[in-house]
Amino acid sequence: MLKKATVFNCNNCGYESLKWLGKCPACGGFNSFSEEAKELKKKGGGEYRGFDAGFKTGPLKDVETGRKQRISTGISEADRVFGGGIVKGSLALLGGEPGAGKSTMALAISENVAKSGRKVIYISGEESPGQIKMRADRTGAGSPSLFVASETCVERIAEEIEREKPSLVVVDSIQTVYKDSIDALAGSVSQIKESCAHLMYAAKKTGVPVIIIGHVTKDGSIAGPKMLEHMVDVVLYFESEQINNFKVLRAVKNRFGSTNEIGVFEMGASGITEVASPSKILLDGIKEQKAGSGIVTVMEGTRPLMLEIQALTARRNFGNPQRTVTGVDYNRFLIILAVLEKKMGLSLENQDVFVNVAGGIRIFETGSDLGLAAAVYSGFRNSPVSTKTVYIGELGLDGEVRPVHFMDLRIAEAERMGFERAVIPARSKTGETRIKLERISSIEELKKIIITD
Ligand SMILES: Nc1ncnc2c1ncn2[C@@H]1O[C@H](COP(=O)(O)OP(=O)(O)O)[C@@H](O)[C@H]1O
Ligand SMILES: [Mg+2]
Ligand SMILES: [Zn+2]
């Protein structure tokens, strides 16, 4: 008697196990396994044969890269995150939590491409054409060459791609499609993986770029798109951590461009709009003089972003002093406090210290060290600093102020934002600028910049 084989797959990462596991050994997720029928693979992946019109070797120098074949999304923030537009024949994954704006974004891109008469097919297993039409009416999409379909069978989607050879295809979402030849439910790990592989195959074979949308849930209750990251060309996520009320689209993988690029958007009833100058909004309405403040320029990919770091110190008469930070690395913060105590003579041992990055942003780099130090110092001394001064530099344990990369870009952003002065490392090389540069080599020199009593 033939027993039907089943396996257990992790919903987070796709790890496969023969028995149920409470904790995934690959990604550490709890209760993330679900049982699925084991796919019996055909030998040698027969169905994907003829991928490139037969097996043939050729000189590498003659291979055409198609590198410049990019399609603009019509949204410059999105183009940058894609690495300069969508590459033909690429498969991109657009992930995010429900309500993040994936469908809205994909529809906006579809409309922009279709506007010039190119055919775009938006396939949705999530919404009916009527619902898509409602969103389209709301956001102003409706070019004659924008086609919609509610289809969930990937074989049929792939056939349509081959037949129509549109300029762009969107599949919303990968969790709703299924491959007929796989004996598993739509949304299961094996369906998601196999459907993705099939769409990849269709994209590469036809040169049609495909964007697949994938839902991410915090609790991992549905199989997520994480397991697809290694298969697809581009992975973009809408971040749940937002800058103010903005939606941040971040590239976490890009075979055709840099990662760590972000695009900043605002979501409203009329759809998605790009925020070209987040620095301006982040620094909007800030007072000219402020104690406990340090303005910094951090890099998000190739884009400089100006932020305010705020610090508050408060005397504590008994008990252990608290250190509370949001938006900056805790260990980095402790190092900077130690340097301030040692080199600037700040006695913080009986002080609670709170640090916050305005706008709810997280800083992942060291170029903001100097600004953090300035914020704590001016906060502790209760000495207002000018918010027209930006602080850029990394701190060493010996109190040295060290150069950071992209100095010119950071200074240029400050200049663009109307800053008058930049405190930078003495050793940094800089180009032309109208901003007054204060070069310091050691943290002690902050004293003469933040004038006290
Ligand atoms: N009818 C509506 N009117 C105004 N805003 C809406 C409407 N429907 C959706 N939105 C906004 O658009 C956002 C993104 O929705 P959507 O693109 O459907 O997200 P996703 O596809 O990622 O689940 C929602 O969080 C909501 O703020
Ligand atoms: Mg959606
Ligand atoms: Zn896992």
Tell whether 151 and 300 lie within a shared domain. Answer: no
Tell whether 252 and 342 lie within a shared domain. Answer: no
Task: Answer whether residue 404 shows pLDDT above 90.
Answer: yes
* Spatial separation of the C-alpha atoms in residues 248 and 178, rounded to whole Å: 30
Tell whether 316 and 270 lie within a shared domain. Answer: no
Residue 53 is assigned to a structural domain of this protein: no
* Spatial separation of the C-alpha atoms in residues 17 and 10, rounded to whole Å: 8
Residue 59 is assigned to a structural domain of this protein: no
Mutation pick for ligand 1 pocket among 97, 247, 266, 267 (CB with most ligand atoms within 8 Å): 267
Tell whether 176 and 263 lie within a shared domain. Answer: yes
- The alpha carbons of the chain give a radius of gyration, in whole angstroms, of 26
Give yes or no for residue 104 CB within 6 A of ligand 1: yes
pLDDT of the residue at 240:
61
Tell whether 247 and 368 lie within a shared domain. Answer: no
Q: Which residues contact 116 (CB under 8 A, 6 or more apart)?
A: none
Tell whether 326 and 373 lie within a shared domain. Answer: yes
Q: Which residues contact 381 (CB under 8 A, 6 or more apart)?
A: 291, 450, 452, 453
Residue for token pair 């739509």:
186
Q: CB count, 10 Å around CB of 315?
A: 8
Least confident of 48-52, 100-104, 146-150, 270-274: 48-52
Residue 60 is assigned to a structural domain of this protein: no
* Spatial separation of the C-alpha atoms in residues 362 and 305, rounded to whole Å: 12
β-partners of residue 249 are 238, 263
Q: 152-203, pLDDT tens digit by residue?
A: 999 999 999 999 999 999 999 999 999 998 888 888 889 999 999 999 999 9
Query: Span 295-307, mean pLDDT?
Result: 87
CA 12 to ligand 3 centroid distance, Å? 5
Give yes or no for residue 214 CB within 6 A of ligand 1: no
Percent helix, strand, coil in the chain, to 5, is 25, 30, 45
Residue 385 is assigned to a structural domain of this protein: yes
pLDDT of the residue at 261:
76
Q: Residue 13 sits in which domain range?
A: 1-38
Asked if residues 36 and 190 have their Cβ atoms less than 8 Å apart, the reply is yes
| Ligand with minimal distance to 21 CA | 3
Instruction: Go through 408-435 and write b for each residue having 16 or more CB atoms within 10 A of its CB, e for each that does not.
Output: eebbbbbeebebebbbbbbebebeeeeb
CA 280 to ligand 1 centroid distance, Å? 25
Task: Answer whether residue 44 shows pLDDT above 60.
Answer: no
Amino acid at 27: C
Tell whether 231 and 86 lie within a shared domain. Answer: yes
CA 421 to ligand 1 centroid distance, Å? 42
Tell whether 122 and 175 lie within a shared domain. Answer: yes
Tell whether 80 and 144 lie within a shared domain. Answer: yes
Give yes or no for residue 12 CB within 6 A of ligand 1: no
Q: Whose CA is closest to atom 1 on ligand 1? A: 269
- Which domain CATH number covers 220? 3.40.50.300
CA 420 to ligand 3 centroid distance, Å? 51
Tell whether 392 and 321 lie within a shared domain. Answer: yes
pLDDT of the residue at 4:
62
Residue 194 is assigned to a structural domain of this protein: yes
Residue 237 is assigned to a structural domain of this protein: yes
Asked if residues 349 and 228 have their Cβ atoms less than 8 Å apart, the reply is no
CA 408 to ligand 2 centroid distance, Å? 40
Tell whether 102 and 248 lie within a shared domain. Answer: yes
Give yes or no for residue 270 CB within 6 A of ligand 1: no
Residue 45 is assigned to a structural domain of this protein: no
- Which domain CATH number covers 351? 3.30.230.10
CA 29 to ligand 3 centroid distance, Å? 6
Residue 66 is assigned to a structural domain of this protein: no
State the helix-helix crossing angle for 102-115 and 129-139, rounded to 10 degrees. 70
Tell whether 285 and 379 lie within a shared domain. Answer: yes
Q: Whose CA is closest to atom 7 on ligand 1? A: 269
Q: Which atom of ligand 1 is least distant from the CA of 172? A: 21
Name the domain count of the chain.
3
The answer to whether the bond into 173 is cis (omega within 30° of 0) is: yes
Give yes or no for residue 96 CB within 6 A of ligand 1: yes
Q: What is 192-241 written as a DSSP string?
A: HHHHHHHHHHHHHHH---EEEEEE--TT--S--GGGGTTTSSEEEEEESS
